[in-house]
Amino acid sequence: RCSTPNPWALFVPVHIELLVPVLTASKPLRRGQRLGAENLLVKKKSSTSLPSNYLRAGDVIIGQVAARDIGIGSVLTQSMFKPEKLVKRGQRVMLSMKSGAIAVRVSGIAMADGARGERIKVKNLSSERIVDGTVSDANLILVGSSSIR
């Protein structure tokens, strides 16, 4: 803007673009493939073209499994992945129950597949009862005292 006796103004069109570091697929991923660091590439992308649930650089998804085929260079979203199943149906597992100072561990058989934190049914091999438990690790199911049927 000029404030001389003959004032004038100049308007310049501006396009502002915010580049965000996002996770992309460094190679094609197949449905069911476990995600490793070698499958990831951080790229800067315009925030206006990103899906709402995109994964940022630093988000932890290694070890998850592709829920569908993913093309090379695709911006990764949480919905493209699901947690890896740590327990498979028919797998022998350890049931662990703790109440105060008392802890009990018995063998069981998983009645369903399960990822960390998921609740599944497990057959207690000692009592032949079916119990509900939470997958804690590849061979460990945590059972609460109210889960026994």
Please, which pLDDT band fits residue 26 given cuts at 50, 70 and 90?
very high
The yes-or-no verdict on residue 149 having pLDDT over 60 is no
- Give the per-residue pLDDT at 54: 93
C-alpha atoms less than 13 angstroms from C-alpha of 13 in its C-beta half-sphere: 1
Residue type (1 letter), 23: L
Residue percentage of the chain with pLDDT more than 90: 62
Evaluate if residue 45 carries a pLDDT over 70.
yes
- Is the CB of residue 115 less than 8 Å from the CB of residue 64? no
User: What value does the mean pLDDT of the chain take?
Assistant: 89
Give residue for tokens 């703790």: 98
pLDDT at 148: 40
pLDDT at 100: 82
Residues 123 and 10: their CA atoms lie apart, in Å, by 78
Token output for 80: 């493209």
pLDDT tens digits, 93-148: 999 988 888 888 999 999 999 998 899 999 999 999 999 999 998 899 999 854 44
Contact 133, 122 (CB under 8 A): yes
- The CB-side HSE value for 79 (13 A sphere, CA atoms) comes to 4
| pLDDT on residue 62 | 86
Average pLDDT, integer, range 61-78: 92
Q: Provide the token pair at 33.
A: 């493939």
Q: Taking residues 51-61, what's their average pLDDT?
A: 86
Widest distance between CA atoms in the chain: 98
pLDDT exceeds 80 at position 31? yes
Residue 133: per-residue pLDDT: 94
The residues facing 54 across adjacent strands are 77
